[in-house]
Structure 1
Amino acid sequence: MGSSLPPKESNLFKLIVKSYETKQYKKGLKAADAILKKFPDHGETLSMKGLTLNCMDRKTEAYELVRRGLKNDLKSHVCWHVYGLLYRSDREYREAIKCYRNALRIDPDNIEILRDLSLLQAQMRDLAGFVETRQQLLSLKPNHRMNWIGFAVAHHLNSNPSKAVEILEAYEGTLEDDYPPDNERYEHGEMLLYKVSLLEECGFYDRALDELHKKEAKIVDKLAYREQLVSLLVKAGQLEEAEKIYRALLAMNPDNYRYYEGLQKCLGLYSESGGYSPDEADRLNNLYKSLKVQFSWSSAVKRIPLDYLNGEMFREAADNYIRPFLTKGVPSLFSDLRPLYNCPEKVKILEKLFLELEASVGTTGQFPGSAQKEPPSTFMWTLFLLAQHYDRQGQYDTALAKIDQAIAHTPTVIDLYTVKGRILKHAGDLAAASALADEARSMDLADRFINSECVKRMLQADQVGLAEKTAVLFTKDGDQHNNLYDMQCMWYELASGESYFRQSDLGRALKKFLAVEKHYADMTEDQFDFHSYCLRKMTLRSYVEMLRFQDRLHSHSYFHKAAVGAIRCYMKLYDSPAKLVNEDQDEMSKLPPSQKKKLKQKQRKAEARAKREAEEKNEEESSAAGVSKNTKRQHAKPVDPDPHGEKLLQVEDLLAEATKYLKLLQKNSSASVETHVLSFELNMRKHKILLAFQAVKQLLKLDPDSPDTHRCLILFFHKFDGFSSPVTDSEKLVWSVLEAERPTLRGLQNTSSLVEANKSFLDAHKDSLMHRAVAAEMLFVLDPERKLEAIKLVEESFMCGPISSPSGPSVGWKLKDCIAVHQLLGTVFADPDAASRWSTRCAEHFPYSTYFKGVCSSAVVKPVDGNLNNAPENGGMEHCGASVRDSHSLNGNISSLKALNIQ
C-alpha cells in the first residue's frame, strides 16, 4: 500500500491505515490531507480518506472520494478493497463481494481480502464460494487453526459433513502435543464435540461413540459430553446404556422435560401423538411413581403423568398435583394445565375436581379427605383457578362471578384484576378490560409486566394515546418511541399497528409494521460479526445452530403478522387511495415555476436549520451532563423525519411494495393459509391470472374445507368466466391451462356450474357459521338477484347453529366470527336492516360485547332502579347486575371506569 509514494508520504499513508484501525479518524484525515497536498490524484490516499470520512458519518463525501480514488487507480487492490468495505458498511453485500473479487484479480493471494470475502459469502449463504475461499485461505496459511476450522465449517454448511470430518481429522494430525495447553483446553474440547456431532449427522453412530469415549478426557464440558453420548446411544440402539445415563442426568436436573422424554424412548414408552394403550399407560404410571419417590421435590415428575392418564387415575393425579399449588398460591397454575383442555373428557374431570375443592375449602377450610387446615388464601386461589376454567369454556357470566367472589375475599391481589380484565376481553368488552388492567397497574407502579399488560389492553381497545402515555412510564428518559424501537419491543409495535389499521390510520400502521420488519433485518445483520468470532472462540455447534436459526428467522410469528399487516395496508390504500397531497402542496401547484423553486429552497433550508438546532440542543444537554460531544454524537437519537408515516403512503407502486413482503411470506410461511389468501388477493389486483390460480391450488392443497379457500376458488373462476375470449397467444395459453385444470380441482369436481359447487359446499358445512356466511356471499356474487336468499341463508344460522341455545358462546361460535358476518352484511350485501337484525341477535348471546352493545357491556349504562332520573350522583349504575365498582375498585379509585360511564 502506498508503494508509489516517496518514503515520507509512504510513512504518512501507513499512519492513515493505523489511525483507521485504531479509530483515530482526525489524525488519519490530517495525514491524508498532507499527502494530497503534494499528490492530489493519489488513488489509494483518496480511498483511505473516504473510508475514514465514512466512519465519521460523512457518507456522501466518502463515496465521492473513494470513487475518485478508484478512477485514478483502477489497478490498485487497495482501492477496490476500500470500495468493498464502504459497501459492506451500508449492508450492500452483493456489491461488496464484486469489489472484493476485483481486488483479488489484482492480488489473488491477499489474505485480508480473502478473509473479508469469506465473511460476506457466509452472510449471503454463497456456500460454494465460501468453500472455495476458505480452501484458498487454508492453502495460503496452513499453520493457522482458524483456516482449518473455517474450511471444515464451510463444507458442513454446504451439506457435506463427511468432508468436514476428514478436514478436522487432518487438522488433528498436524497437532504436535496430544494435550493442548490449559488456555486452549475448552476450545479444543468444543472442536471435538463438533466433530462428534458431524459424525452423528452423517449417521456414523458407532464411529462417533468410539471417538467420544476415546477423547473423553479432553472434553471439558461434561454435561454436553453426556447429552451427546446419550443421544448417540439411543440412535445406535444401545437403550440400556442410554437409560442409565438419562437417569444420571435426571439426578442432576429432575425438572428437565427432555430427559424424561429420552428415558421414555429408552423404555419404548414414548409416543409423538401422545396416545398410549392401557398397558403402556400402566407401565408409564409405574415408571413415574418410582421417579416420584426418587425426585419428590420435582414438579415435572408430577405434571407429566397428567398427559397420558385417564379416568379416575387422572383425577387422582390431578388432585395431588393441584393442591400444593393452591396452598402456595401459584398464579400460573392454570397456564400449566391449559394443554389438558384439548381433551374434553379431562376438562369435565377437572371442572368437577375444581368444584369439589371449592366447596370443601369454602365450607370447612380443608381439602377433601384432609385434616390439615388450609390458609385463607387457598380459597381465593381456588376461585381464581375456577374463574380461568370458566373463561376457557366461554362461560363468562360464571367466570366473572367467581373472580368477583375472589376479589371480595382478598381485594389486594393484583392477579385477580388482571384475570378479570382478560375475561372481559374474551367476552368482548375491550374498554372495561382496559380499565381493569389500568386498575391493576395502579396497584403496583413498579411492575413492568403489569404495565405491559395494561398497555396491551389499551391498544386492543384502540386507546393508542393512553397506551403511549402508559408505556412511557417504563422507558428511558421518557423517550417512548425511540426507546421502544431500540429495544425491539415488537409486541407493542404490532398491537399499535393493528390498532391504527382498525382506525384506518394507514400511515402510522405501516410505520409500526415496517419497524418490525426492520428489526428482523437487523437480526439478520447482527449475525455478521459472529462469522469470525465463533471460529476464533471455537463455539462451532452454537455457530451452526445460529446460522440455521437465521435461515428460518422470517418464519417467526411476529414477522408473519407484520408482513401481513403491511400487505393489507398497501392493498387497502390501493383500493381507496388517500389524498396524499396536503394543503401546502395544493398551494404550491398554483404558483409559477420560479416561485416554486424559491419555496422549495426555503423549505430545504428550514429543514436543515431544524436538524442543526436539534443536534446543537443534544450537544448542549450532553455537555451539561458532563458527556463529550463525540460520545453524544455516537449515542444521539436520529430525528424522525416522518413521525406519522405520511411518506410511507407516497409510494408509486403500492402493489409492488406489497409483493416484496408477500415473497418473504411465500418463502418462509408457505404452510399458512393466510399467506396464499393474500397471494390470491394481491395477484387478482395485479391481474396476474396464473399466479392467482397458483395461490388457489396451494389453498386447496393446504385446507380444501376452509371458507377462505372456497371464497378464493369461486371468485377466481367467476372472474375467469367473465373474461373475454382469448386473442393473443399468451391469453390462449392461460385459457387452455385453466380449462384443463378446472375439472380436476376439489370443490369443482362433478359439478356443472359454480352455483352448484357453492351449494355442495354449503351442504357439507351447513352447521358452521363462517362456512354458511361464505356460501351466502358467493351466492350473492354469482347471482346478485338472489340477494335476499343469501341474506336469509346467513340469518338462518341462528336456527341451525349451536348459538341457538342461551349458553351459545360456551360451545358455539366465536365473537370475532359474528363480527365478521355483521361487517359482511353491512358492506358486501349493503343491507343495514339485515346488519341491524344480526347485531340485535348477537347482542343477546354476547352480552358483554361492546361491538354489539350487549346489555352487560360498558357501552350500555343501566340504572339500578330502571330510572335514569333517580340515579345518584356517583352514577348508581350496575354492570349486568354486579357492581363493577364493588368488584374491582380499590380505595374508591374508579377514575378509569368513570371515563367509560361505568360505576
Structure 2
Amino acid sequence: MGASLPPKEANLFKLIVKSYETKQYKKGLKAADAILKKFPNHGETLSMKGLTLNCMDRKAEAYELVRLGLKNDLKSHVCWHVYGLLYRSDREYREAIKCYRNALRIDPDNIEILRDLSLLQAQMRDLMGFVETRQQLLTLKPNHRMNWIGFAVAHHLNSNASKAVDILEAYEGTVEDDYPPDGERCEHGEMLLYKISLLEECNYLAKALEELKKNESKIVDKLSYKEHQVSLLVKLDHREEAEKLYMTLLSMNPDNYRYYEGLQKSVGLYSENSQYQASEVEQLESLYKSLERQYTRSSAVKRIPLDFLLGKKFRDAADSYVRPLLTKGVPSLFSDLSPLYDQPGKADILEQLMLELENSIRTTGGFPGRMENEPPSTLLWTLFYLAQHYDRRGQYDLALRKIDESIEHTPTVIDLYSVKSRILKHAGDLVAASALADEARCMDLADRYVNSECVKRMLQADQVTMAEKTAILFTKDGEQHNSLYDMQCMWYELASGDSYFRQKDLGRALKKYLAVEKHYADINEDQFDFHSYCLRKMTLRTYVEMLKFQDRLHSYAYFRKAAIGAIRCYIQLYDFPSKSTSEEEDEMSKLSPSQKKKLKQKQKKAESRAKKETEAKSEESNVIAASKSGKRNVKPIDLDPNGEKLLQVEDPLLEATKYLKLLQKHSPDCLQTHVLSFELNIRKQKILLSYQAVKQLQRLDADNPDSHRCLIRFFHKMESLPVPVADSDKLIWAVLEAERPGFSQLHEKSLIEANSNFLEKHKDSLMHRVAVAEMLYLLDPSKKEDAIRLIQDSSNNLLSTNLALASVEEWKLKDCIAVHQLLGDTFNDSDAALRWKGRCADYFLYSTYFEGTRSSAISNSTYNHISLNGPIDAAHNVGSASSNGNICTTEKLKELVV
C-alpha cells in the first residue's frame, strides 16, 4: 500500500490506515490531505480518504473520492478493496464481492481480502465460493488454527459433513499430544464436540461415541458431554446405559422436560403424538410414581403424567397437582394446563374437579378429604382458574361471574383485572377490555408487562392515540416512535398496523408493517459480525445453529403477519386508488369560488398543524434527552409520519409481489400465502400463476372455504375470458382445459353443481355456507336473494335445543363480523346486514360491534348494565365510559367496591 509514494508520504499513508483501524478519523484525514497536497491524483490515498469520510457519515463525498481514486489507479488492489468495503458498509454485498474479486485478480494471495471475501460469501450463502476461499486461505496459512476450522465449517455448510470431519482429523494430526494448553482448553473442547456432532450427523454413531469417550478429559463442558453421550446411547439402542445416564442428568436438573422425554425413549415408552396403549400407560404411571418419590420437589414429574393418563387416574393426578398450586396461589396454573384442553374429555374432568374444590372450600373451608382449613386466597385462585376455564370454552357469562366474584373477594390483585379484560376482549367488548386493562395498569405503574397488555388492548379497540400515550411511559426519553422502532417492538407495530388497517388508514398501516420487515432485514444483517467471531472463539455448534436459524428467519409468525398485512394494504390500494391530481382539479372546478377558498384554507391549516405537531414532538423529545443526559441530542425527524409517500407507488401489485415471494419461499404451507398469491395474480391477469395458487390451496386444504372460493372464481374467470387468438394463449387454454378434470369437485360438473355439492358436504358450517352463497351470487347475480337466504338459514348451536343440531358448529365472533361486512359490501343489502346484526346481537351479548345488550356500547349510553355482581360491573362501566388518555380510575373502582 502506498508503494508508489516517497518514504515520507508512504509513512503518512500507513498512518491513514492505522487511524482508520483505530477510529481516529480526523487524524487520518489530516494525513490524507498532506499526501494529496503533493500528489493530488494518488488513487490509494483518495480511496482511503473516501473510506474515512464514510465513517464520518459523509457518504456522497466518500463514494465520489473512492471512485476517483479507482479511476486514477485501476490496477491497485487497495482501491478495489476499499471500494468493496464501502459497498459492504451499505449492505450492497453482491457489489462488494465483485470488488473483492477484482482486487484478488491483481493480488490473488492477499489474506485480508480473502478473509473479507469469505465473510461476505458466508453472509450471502455462496457456499461453493465460501469453500474455495477458505481452502485458499488454508493453503496460504496452514499453521493458523482458524483457517482449518473455517475450511471444515465451509464444507459442513455446503452439505459435506464427512469432508468436514476429515479436515478436523487432519488438523488434529498437526497438533502435539499435550495440546491444548490451559488457555485454550475451552476452545479445543468445543472443537471436539463440534466434530462429534458432525460424526453424528453423518450417522457414524459408534465412532462418535468412541471419540467422545476418548476425549473426555479434553472436553471442559461436562453437561454437553453427558447430553451428547446419552443421545448417542439412545440412537445406538444401548438403553440400559442411557437410562442410567438420564437418571444422572435428572439428579442434576429434575425439571428438564427433555430429560424425561429421553428417559421414556430409553425405556421404550415414548410416542410422538402422545398416543399410548393401556399397558404402556401403566408402565409410564409406575415410572413417574417412582420418579416422584425420588424428586419430591419437581413440578415436571407431576405435570407430565397428566398428558398420558386418562379417566379417573387423570382426575386423581390432576387433583394432587392443582391443590398445592391453588394453596400457594400460582397465577399461571391455567396456562400450564391449557394444552390438556386439546385432548378429548379432559376439559370436562378439570371443570368438574375445580367446581368440586370450589364447593368444598365454600362449605368446609378446605379441600375434600382434608381436615385442615385452606387460607382465604385458595378460593380466590380457584375462582380465577374457573374464570379462565369458562373463557376458554366460550362461556363468557360464567367466566365474568367467576372473575367478578374474585375481584369482590380481593380487589387489589392485578391479575384479576387483566384476565377480566381478556375475557371481555374474547366476548367482543373491546372498549371495556381496554378500560379494564387500564385499571390494571394504574394499580402498578412500574410494571412494564401490564402496561404493554394495556397498550395491546387499546390498539385492539382502535384507540391508537391512547395507546401511543401509554406506550411512551416505558420508552427511552419519553419518545415513542423512534424508541419502539429501535427496540424492534414488533408486537406493537403489528397491532398498530392492524388497527390502522381496520380504520382504512393504509398509509400508517403500511408504515407499521414495513417497519417489521425492516427489523427482519436488520436481524439478518446482525449475523455478519459472527462469521469471524465464532470461528475465532470456537463456538462452532452455536454458530451453525445460528446460521440455520437465519436461513428460516422469514418463516416466523411476526414476519408472516407483517407481510400479509402489507400485501392486503397494496391490494386495497390497487382496488381503491387515491384520486389523481387531474381528478382533484375536476372536482375543484365544480365548486364555487367561496367553497374553493374555504377548502384551500382548510388544507393549509391541516398541513401547518401537522408540521407543527411533528416539530413539537421532536423538540419535546430533544429537550427531555437534554435534561437527562446533560447535552442536546438532535434526533432524526420522520419526514413521512403518516405514510403518505408509501401510498404514492406506481404499481401497488408489483410492491406486493416482493413480499409474496418471501412468503412463498419461507411459508409455503401457510394457506394464506396461496390465497394472497391468487388474489394478486388474478388481478395481474397472470393465469398460470393464479392456477398454481389454486392447485396449492387444493393440496393444502381442499375443504377450506377460501380454497373453494379461489377454485370457483378461477374457472369462472376462465369461462368469461374471450376465446384466445395468440398461439401462446391457446396453449395455456388447452392446458387448463386438460387440467380441469383433475379436480374431483369439477369432474363432469358445472361450477354451479360443484358449488351445490360443496354446500351439501359442509351445510352445518357457517363459513362454508357463506363461501357457497358468495360464489352463487358470483355465478348467477339473479340469485342474490337465494344466496342471502342461504346465509341467514345457518344454525348456531348456542341457541339450539334440538339434539339433531348437536353437530352444528358454534359461531365465532370474528366470522360473524366478516359475514355482516360481506352482506353490506359484496351483496350491497343493508336490510340483510341489519337483520344479521340483530340476530348476532342475541348471540354475542357483550359484542360492541353488534351492540349486544351487555356490551359497553349499550351500557355506557344507558348506565343500566345488567350486573352479575353489581359493584364490580358498575366499576367496569365507569372504566369503560371515562377512561381516556392516561386517566386512571382506580380510586373510583375502590370506592365502588367499598
Work out whether residues 507 and 644 of structure 2, in 8 Å CA contact, stay in contact via their aligned partners in 1: yes
Distance 1:252 1:168, change over 3 A: same
Letter aligned with residue 706 of structure 2:
D
Letter aligned with residue 292 of structure 2:
K
Q: CA RMSD, aligned part only?
A: 2.9
Offset of residue 652 of structure 1: 1.5
Distance 1:585 1:832, change over 3 A: closer
Distance 1:474 1:81, change over 3 A: same
Offset of residue 831 of structure 1: 0.7
Distance 1:611 1:568, change over 3 A: closer
Work out whether residues 452 and 471 of structure 1, in 8 Å CA contact, stay in contact via their aligned partners in 2: yes
Q: Classify the secondary structure of the residue corresponding to 2:841.
A: helix
Equivalenced residues, count: 868
Deviates more, 1:85-94 or 1:822-831: 822-831
Q: Classify the secondary structure of the residue corresponding to 1:369.
A: coil
Letter aligned with residue 19 of structure 1:
S
Offset of residue 618 of structure 1: 9.4
Offset of residue 154 of structure 1: 0.2
Q: Partner residue of 1:599?
A: none
Distance 1:769 1:618, change over 3 A: closer
Q: Partner residue of 1:764?
A: 761
Distance 1:431 1:620, change over 3 A: closer
Matched, 1:471 2:458: no
**Percent sequence identity over matched residues?**
71
Work out whether residues 302 and 321 of structure 2, in 8 Å CA contact, stay in contact via their aligned partners in 1: yes
Matched, 1:788 2:785: yes
Offset of residue 378 of structure 1: 0.3
Q: Partner residue of 1:681?
A: 679
- With normalisation by structure 2, the TM-score equals 0.93
Offset of residue 617 of structure 1: 11
Q: Partner residue of 1:669?
A: 667
Letter aligned with residue 828 of structure 2:
A
Q: Partner residue of 2:740?
A: 742
Structure-2 separation of matches of 1:653 and 1:219: 59
Work out whether residues 46 and 65 of structure 1, in 8 Å CA contact, stay in contact via their aligned partners in 2: yes
Structure-1 separation of matches of 2:809 and 2:251: 45
Distance 1:276 1:440, change over 3 A: same
**Runs of 4+ in structure 1 displaced over 3 angstroms?**
579-589, 607-629, 800-811, 879-895, 897-903
The within-5 A match list for 1:654-733 is 654-733=652-731
Q: Partner residue of 2:218?
A: 218
Work out whether residues 417 and 888 of structure 1, in 8 Å CA contact, stay in contact via their aligned partners in 2: no
Letter aligned with residue 438 of structure 1:
D
Q: Partner residue of 1:604?
A: none
Letter aligned with residue 796 of structure 1:
D
Q: Give a deviation string over 1:733-786, Cα, whole Å, max 9, x none.
A: 1101110100101321242x0000000100000000000000010000000011
Q: Classify the secondary structure of the residue corresponding to 1:861.
A: helix
Q: Partner residue of 2:751?
A: 754
Q: Partner residue of 1:824?
A: 822
Structure-1 separation of matches of 2:61 and 2:352: 75
Distance 1:686 1:345, change over 3 A: same
Offset of residue 179 of structure 1: 3.0
Work out whether residues 618 and 637 of structure 2, in 8 Å CA contact, stay in contact via their aligned partners in 1: no
Letter aligned with residue 437 of structure 1:
A
Distance 1:568 1:32, change over 3 A: same
Structure-1 separation of matches of 2:801 and 2:395: 13
Q: Partner residue of 2:841?
A: 843
Letter aligned with residue 25 of structure 1:
Y
Structure-2 separation of matches of 1:720 and 1:408: 63
Offset of residue 878 of structure 1: 2.2
The within-5 A match list for 1:128-277 is 128-277=128-277
Work out whether residues 420 and 436 of structure 1, in 8 Å CA contact, stay in contact via their aligned partners in 2: yes
Q: Give a deviation string over 1:402-423, Cα, whole Å, max 9, x none.
A: 1111111111111111111111
Q: Partner residue of 2:595?
A: none
Q: Give a deviation string over 1:292-326, Cα, whole Å, max 9, x none.
A: 00001000000000000001000000000000110
Work out whether residues 700 and 746 of structure 1, in 8 Å CA contact, stay in contact via their aligned partners in 2: no
Q: Give a deviation string over 1:672-712, Cα, whole Å, max 9, x none.
A: 00000000000011111100100000000000100000000
Offset of residue 716 of structure 1: 0.4
Distance 1:581 1:502, change over 3 A: farther
**Structure 1 stretches lacking a partner, 5+ long:** 590-606, 869-874
Q: Give a deviation string over 1:46-95, Cα, whole Å, max 9, x none.
A: 10010000000000000011011111111000000000000000000000
Structure-2 separation of matches of 1:587 and 1:340: 62
Work out whether residues 240 and 266 of structure 1, in 8 Å CA contact, stay in contact via their aligned partners in 2: yes
Offset of residue 639 of structure 1: 2.1
Structure-1 separation of matches of 2:613 and 2:336: 54
Q: Partner residue of 2:71?
A: 71
Q: Partner residue of 1:488?
A: 488
Offset of residue 893 of structure 1: 11
Q: Give a deviation string over 1:858-880, Cα, whole Å, max 9, x none.
A: 111389xxxx7xxxxxx5x3245
Structure-2 separation of matches of 1:309 and 1:415: 31
1:812 counterpart (801, 810, 813): 810
Distance 1:579 1:831, change over 3 A: same
Offset of residue 502 of structure 1: 0.2
Distance 1:369 1:803, change over 3 A: same
Work out whether residues 862 and 879 of structure 1, in 8 Å CA contact, stay in contact via their aligned partners in 2: no
Q: Partner residue of 2:6?
A: 6
Q: Partner residue of 1:426?
A: 426
Q: Partner residue of 2:601?
A: none
Q: Give a deviation string over 1:808-854, Cα, whole Å, max 9, x none.
A: 99961111111111111111111111111111111001111111100
Deviates more, 1:883-892 or 1:64-73: 883-892
Q: Partner residue of 1:389?
A: 389
Distance 1:657 1:496, change over 3 A: same
2:856 counterpart (855, 858, 862): 858
Distance 1:443 1:71, change over 3 A: same
Distance 1:372 1:890, change over 3 A: farther
Q: Give a deviation string over 1:167-211, Cα, whole Å, max 9, x none.
A: 001101111243311110000000000000000000000000110
The within-5 A match list for 1:200-599 is 200-579=200-579
Q: Classify the secondary structure of the residue corresponding to 1:641.
A: coil
The within-5 A match list for 1:594-633 is none
Q: Give a deviation string over 1:597-626, Cα, whole Å, max 9, x none.
A: xxxxxxxxxx99999999999999888777
Q: Partner residue of 1:29?
A: 29
Distance 1:374 1:130, change over 3 A: same
Q: Give a deviation string over 1:379-413, Cα, whole Å, max 9, x none.
A: 01111111111111111001111111111111111
Structure-2 separation of matches of 1:890 and 1:266: 58
Letter aligned with residue 153 of structure 2:
V
Distance 1:19 1:660, change over 3 A: same
Q: Larger relative contact order (C-alpha < 8 A, sep ≥ 6)?
A: 2
Structure-2 separation of matches of 1:188 and 1:332: 43
Q: Partner residue of 1:596?
A: none
Offset of residue 476 of structure 1: 1.1
Q: Partner residue of 2:598?
A: none
1:777 counterpart (764, 774, 777): 774
Work out whether residues 46 and 68 of structure 1, in 8 Å CA contact, stay in contact via their aligned partners in 2: yes
Distance 1:405 1:675, change over 3 A: same
Q: Partner residue of 2:865?
A: 878
Letter aligned with residue 844 of structure 2:
F
Q: Partner residue of 1:871?
A: none
Letter aligned with residue 820 of structure 1:
A
Letter aligned with residue 655 of structure 2:
E
Work out whether residues 855 and 880 of structure 1, in 8 Å CA contact, stay in contact via their aligned partners in 2: no
Offset of residue 638 of structure 1: 2.4
Work out whether residues 803 and 812 of structure 1, in 8 Å CA contact, stay in contact via their aligned partners in 2: no
Distance 1:291 1:329, change over 3 A: same
Structure-1 separation of matches of 2:493 and 2:582: 27
Q: Partner residue of 1:603?
A: none
Distance 1:890 1:773, change over 3 A: closer
Q: Partner residue of 2:883?
A: 896
Q: Partner residue of 1:593?
A: none
Work out whether residues 566 and 656 of structure 2, in 8 Å CA contact, stay in contact via their aligned partners in 1: yes
